[in-house]
Structure 1
């Protein structure tokens, strides 16, 4: 029996007899049989964040691909993906259904900070793995407090540190103004930036100001920040407000270096509404390859992704970067499942998830590696600085690691 899983751009052949899998003592947790591994997740298939549903759809499609190629160690993956409407109470209700009625082995890839916050304590009390969760919130990856929860992408504190390292290198004498969303997202990001600046934070940061999600506009905040004379603007806002900021800066001719949060790096949602000419020169961070970038046209990892999209998601837009996100998240889970062999308990799944070593996924930017340990539940701590040239995002310098 053979399973073929593409990880790191190479085909991994798991011959059960040769690897000794048949000789292993089978040790199964909930949702596992000789032929199946059942996992669950909730996604915003409806509601205000429904654009992120592409992540769940692409994960399901990738597992379909794996199943068509033999599964993992001979077992097919059964993903039960439910709609939470981006509502915390609904996420709790649906997650309880997945754990108590569907009896899934683990929750994998659930998207969103508010929804993941809502289910985190429940999953940890029940000792159900919550793996590769789609949020950059710091508290999702704190093994000393939540030993059954693990994020996936770089957390917001790490991204703030990465921006601080960039500013210290490129603009060491700059004056920095910060706008942040008044929630965990904005506060974690801003704290990471301050921590990254260290002793220089007091002299370099000239003003910090927040905004509420319910506010219709941030124009007044932009005017206040410009008045400080800052020549670097760290904009820790979400897409709607980032587009407003870019337009307002152009209107009032505030020529500061504009650093956007990675949540606002979308051409469709931010740069095009703000005006491509107005957006020229803005900076963000990224860790995965962009299907819109012609630089990856001949890249083997991108070719594999596009072939996957053509076969398994023919009616979906391959240029949607949320599909890339889901595709890579699913690949990460497959890697961990391979490592589990026939010891498919919740405890061993968590142990293997916390033992990732230099995992290279073919859709990641060069130099981005995934690593975890028993005390490190943030698989990624690296980002690439990207600058918009008026048409596309262009890499600037090398990959920056928040921990080095």
Structure 2
């Protein structure tokens, strides 16, 4: 699923569930002064903040993945010596999923805790973003749930951005752009020709569904639009129509609970699908529990994203991530014996975000400053977190791209096997596709 599609869907989930200047916002200046030749490289800890909606109207675990992955990376980094001998101290803040909570977290982290940077944020309502930008505090590797990472300077979302990001309107004149690579993939690799898009009769859900329908039609699909009542959805009627229409793919603009109910009805109606396509937020080991009553639909789940499958243990960085997450789970008492820890794609992306910040900080040598970190982020060189991310970069294009070559990672759920990669390595699933504009 393209970046704006992922952002639009996550923003919809929030809406559906809901129916100061930079004074004192940095470490002491003495921390940034160049030391004499005889001084050791080590110094006081580098303090970073992580803001997440750990409690929110959409559930306690919905937005904590990036935080947990980042904390695990910093734990490992500190055991290996930190950033040029300086440990990374992590301060977390739960914004409660509200704009007021977001502003409170930003105030506390910037002005009381005096964090050097923010890392791996995941906020339902990132209302504090203008404060962060005004204080010129780097915010690295956050999840672009709303349009903030496409709007403000000093904010660097996990997937990169080519938008001007001057603090006014998001994107280009209030529009964001995304490609049709997901639809191209299923058409080329799976031979899909007919797709259904299921949404609620709710404004954000309907708007996202229209974006998906537009992308599918651009790629030449025959599209069936289905809409259900948000309060009393009749998924059985939808499933019956999907069967009669003989659709290949099902996309949706719904929350996880709605998806699970839809899948149950799809199983009851014995609908045969090439794929039930979900997004990176639902790419986790929780699938057996979330879809426990829909075994056939569950095994038709596919996920697309911009990061390497967290189950790809053949990759050394994924192995490091999984080992550390297991270590942390055991330490926290959440893992017993040979049990696997609960894992998710958002955790892996939080790990990659922490790595991105650490690499930027290390590039500064013994003179760690925010401008130095931002020079690394703004270098124009694509960053992959040692192969965990598809190349991400930050530019400031005056005009949006008309088309782009875009790659994607693709995985399919299989009971007993988990998420299995599809189509080879994510760097091979690439397409030059049109970029479609929409208003966030």
- Identify the TM-score tier after normalising by the shorter chain: 0.7 to 0.9
Q: Which runs of 5+ in 2 are unaligned?
A: 1-23, 33-42, 162-175, 336-340, 398-404, 434-440
Aligned to 1:125: 134
Aligned to 2:343: 320
Matched ranges for 1:211-360 at <5 A: 212=230, 218-223=235-240, 228-262=245-279, 263-269=281-287, 272-286=291-305, 287-291=307-311, 296=313, 299-314=315-330, 315=332, 316-317=334-335, 318-321=341-344, 322-355=346-379, 357-360=381-384
Judge conservation of contact 2:48–2:88 (CA < 8 Å) in 1. Answer: yes
Aligned to 2:390: 369
Does residue 49 of the first structure (1) align with residue 59 of the second (2)? yes
Q: Which runs of 5+ in 1 are unaligned?
A: 1-27
- Deviation digits for residues 93-151 of structure 1, max 9, x if unmatched? 11121122222222211113x232x22233223333222112354x2442xx3222221
Residue aligned with 1:107, SS: strand
Evaluate the alpha carbon distance shift between residue 171 and residue 260 of structure 1 in structure 2; reply closer, same or farther with a 3 A threshold.
Answer: closer
Aligned to 1:396: 422
Residue aligned with 1:49, SS: coil
- Deviation digits for residues 56-88 of structure 1, max 9, x if unmatched? 234224223322322212322222111222233
Residue aligned with 1:146, SS: coil
- Deviation digits for residues 328-382 of structure 1, max 9, x if unmatched? 2211221222223355443332332233634444573xxx433313338xxx964
Evaluate the alpha carbon distance shift between residue 252 and residue 40 of structure 1 in structure 2; reply closer, same or farther with a 3 A threshold.
Answer: same
Following superposition, the deviation at residue 244 of structure 1 comes to 1.3
- The structure that is helix-richer by fraction is 1
* TM-score between both structures, scaled by the size of structure 1: 0.74
1-structure distance, mates of 2:209, 2:159? 14
Residue aligned with 2:292, SS: helix
RMSD: 3.7
Judge conservation of contact 2:199–2:253 (CA < 8 Å) in 1. Answer: yes
Does residue 73 of the first structure (1) align with residue 84 of the second (2)? yes
Judge conservation of contact 1:109–1:134 (CA < 8 Å) in 2. Answer: yes
* TM-score between both structures, scaled by the size of structure 2: 0.68
Aligned length: 359
Judge conservation of contact 2:192–2:249 (CA < 8 Å) in 1. Answer: no
The match for 1:387 among 412, 420, 426 is: 412
Judge conservation of contact 2:119–2:141 (CA < 8 Å) in 1. Answer: yes
Aligned to 2:38: none
